[in-house]
Amino acid sequence: MIKQKSKSIIIIGGGVSGLAAGIYAQMNGYDTKIFEMHSIPGGLSTAWKRKGYNFDGGMDWIVGIDPKMQEHSIWRELGALKGKNVAFYDDLFQIETSKGDICTFYADPAKLKSELFKFTDDDEDKKKIKHLCKSVKRFSKSPSFSYKKPENLYGPLDKLSIFIKFFPYMGILTKYNALMIKDYANSFNDHRLREIISYIFYNPDIEYSVFPPLFTLSNMYNKNAGYPEGGAYGLSKSLETRYKEFGGEIYYKKYVKNIIIEDDKAKGIVLEDGSELYADIIISSCDGRTTIYDLLGGKYLDENIKGMYENARVHPSMVKVFLGVDMDFNDEPHSKIYLRDEPIDILGTISKEQKSILIRHYCHTEPSYSPKGKSVLTSFFVANYDEWKELSKDRQAYKDEKDKIANIVIKQLETVYPNIREKIEVIDVSTPVTIERYTKNYKGSIMGWIATSEVDVWSKQVGINIPGLDNFYMIGQWVSYGGLIRVACCGRYAIQTQCSKDNKKFRTVLD
């Protein structure tokens, strides 16, 4: 009996989704090669070093820490958490108003209720707070979302099982997914709560619903959300190691220019140097718009794809200021938002009046990011890509604006820590153009799409397959939005689907 030759797979992009696809493919007997344009793995899940300090550019926290939850087994299959300590959060952040009032968004629903009650005597306000906190506690007991199988492989029993499991929580999902933070904040009668609640997910200028912060608080409360040792880049390196352990090959500084198509079948790729490489299956894990309109030449579109790429709102990018400081901030909140009466003059933000500054440090979550007794601080602002792109055409003006923003952040910090300027040893600033340069992500987006009901419908209709094109999958944050676990699962789904086509049992291995 002649052993059948393994199918070959080329994966475009060595971010979390691409690495995950490679790991699962290797587990299931496929021969894979990953081509990554950057010199390191991870894509947006990245970090960089500056003079002894480590700046994490891609992780706030991840879900899937609790071994009882379904997503934890995904991370174990990928080797993402092996041997790592995890830092947990007692709160989402602390906020200080311009009047000096301080509110902590505790993960513990009872503490959160008591904290928010301090800012109102109104019975209607208290009723809303009680419902929110009760929902956080209740949702912390909900089962995992279905991460282990793509919807295209669901059978009737799968759908029924998911419906039964989530039916007790549908009221929470429906109510808070449809309720935008801005509208929710404005529904409170006490002006202090209106201001504080508008920042419940850091920045009121991004049009989130209330569900993302509720989901985050519930996962922090049940210890399913945390910050793994090594952060964003540590996670990416763990996936790269796992991929290589299973025999996968990854090639860096290899930019893919085109996908070779014959008779509506993906056959290979063309690199920037003109090299042509062929495989049985092609998986694109790079920027969605680049894949659809450049690599595929805009030839494979349907109404759902056009609807998404023409109408869905792209998640905005960020301007991030990183500081290496010769000070110990262990006694400070891990994240704090300071509200200001007067707008802060910062170019290139989407806010018409930037009246807040967020400061985060890593002393509690990852002390190895700085030398002993020192700290990494970061501050970030929701950015206007178009302004930064235009500014970047003049290199000196671009550099000057980055220096200006760093100085503004330092001046704001001086109102809290008067001697901090003389203690700063390293300054670094990343912009939407920075993200675009290293990842090619459309407009430097950090999260693909802003989650809306329309995007949810489009993404389910589009999925990982492109209509009319065989031997091809598209994965990543432009297909499955909502954080690193969903991006990782997207790579899993592509290989599960291919195994189903090849009549192979999908297999996984825990670390």
3-state secondary structure 7-37: CEEEEECCEHHHHHHHHHHHHCCCEEEEEEC
Q: Quick check: 2 pLDDT over 50? A: no
Neighbours of 170 (CB within 10 A): 10
pLDDT in tens, 38-48: 999 999 999 99
Residue 89 backbone dihedrals phi, psi, to 5 degrees: -115, 130
Are 122 and 184 within one domain?
A: yes
Per-residue pLDDT at 461: 65
Residue in 142, 188, 397 with CA at minimum distance from that of residue 199: 188
Quote the number of domains for the chain.
Answer: 3
User: How far apart are the C-alpha atoms of 62 and 347, rounded to whole Å?
Assistant: 31
Question: Distance (Å, rounded) from C-alpha 198 to C-alpha 184?
Answer: 8
How far, in Å, are 61, 440, 441 from residue 216 at the CA level? Answer: 9, 28, 25
Same domain, 212 and 148: yes
pLDDT at residue 459 tops 90: no
Residue 5: band (very low, low, confident or very high) from pLDDT cuts 50, 70, 90: low
For the sheet with 265-271, list strands across it. Answer: 256-262, 265-271, 276-278
Whether the pLDDT of residue 245 is over 50: the answer is: yes
**Residue 463 and residue 496 in contact, taking contact as beta carbons nearer than 8 Å:** no
Examine residue 385 and state whether it is found in any structural domain, yes or no: yes
Domain assignment of residue 140, yes or no: yes
In whole angstroms, give the CA distance from residue 449 to residue 458.
Answer: 11
Q: Does the pLDDT of residue 259 top 70, yes or no? A: yes
- Contacts of residue 332, defined as CB under 8 A and 6 or more positions apart, other chains included, come to 361, 363
Of 439, 467, 488, the one marking the end of a domain is 439
- Residue 374 clears pLDDT 90, i.e. is over it: yes
Beta strand 62-63 with 375-382 is unpaired
Measure Cα distances from 91 to 105, 221, 252, 330 in Å: 6, 8, 39, 15
Same domain as 111, residue 215: yes
Q: What is the pLDDT of residues 133-189, one digit of tens each?
A: 999 999 999 988 878 888 888 888 888 988 899 999 999 999 999 999 999 999 999
- The pLDDT confidence band at residue 457, using thresholds 50, 70 and 90, is low
Question: Closest Cα partner for 227 from 16, 53, 57, 59?
Answer: 59
363 inside domain = yes
Q: Are 302 and 332 in a shared domain?
A: no
- Structure-token pair, residue 480: 């499955």
- Check which CATH number belongs to the domain holding 267 and give it: 3.50.50.60
Mark whether 203 and 300 lie in a shared domain: no
Claim to verify: residue 374 and residue 275 sit in the same structural domain: no
What's the predicted TM-score (pTM) here?
A: 0.95
DSSP states of 147-196: -SS-GGG--HHHHHHHHHHHGGGHHHHHHHHHSBHHHHHHT-SSHHHHHH
How far apart CA 474 and CA 268 sit, in angstroms, is 14
Whether 2 is covered by a domain: the verdict is no
In a domain, 84, yes or no: no
336 lies in the same domain as 412: yes
Confidence at 216, pLDDT banded by 50, 70, 90: very high
Q: What is the pLDDT of residue 313?
A: 86
Is residue 306 domain-shared with residue 323, that is, in the same domain? no
The helix (H) or strand (E) run that includes residue 103 is: strand 102-106
Half-sphere exposure of 445 (CA within 13 A, CB side): 20
> Containing domain of residue 366, as a range?
318-439
Query: In this predicted structure, what is the pLDDT of residue 353?
Result: 78
pLDDT above 60: residue 225: yes
253 and 328 assigned to the same domain: no
Last residue of a domain, one of 178, 201, 222: 222
Asked if 444 contacts 350 with a C-beta cutoff of 8 angstroms, the reply is: no
Domain final position from 401, 416, 439: 439
**Dist CA 357 CA 203 (whole Å):** 10
Q: Which residue has the higher pLDDT, 226 or 457?
A: 226
258 and 286 housed in the same domain:
yes
Same domain as 325, residue 308: no
Choice among 29-43, 196-210, 227-241 with the minimum mean pLDDT: 196-210
Q: Do residues 266 and 234 both lie within one domain?
A: yes
- Amino acid identity, position 216: T
DSSP code at position 143: P
Q: Within a domain: residue 297?
A: yes
Helix (H) or strand (E) holding 159: helix 156-166
CB burial of residue 459 (10 Å; 0-12, 13-18, 19+): buried
User: What is the CB neighbour count within 10 angstroms for residue 180?
Assistant: 15
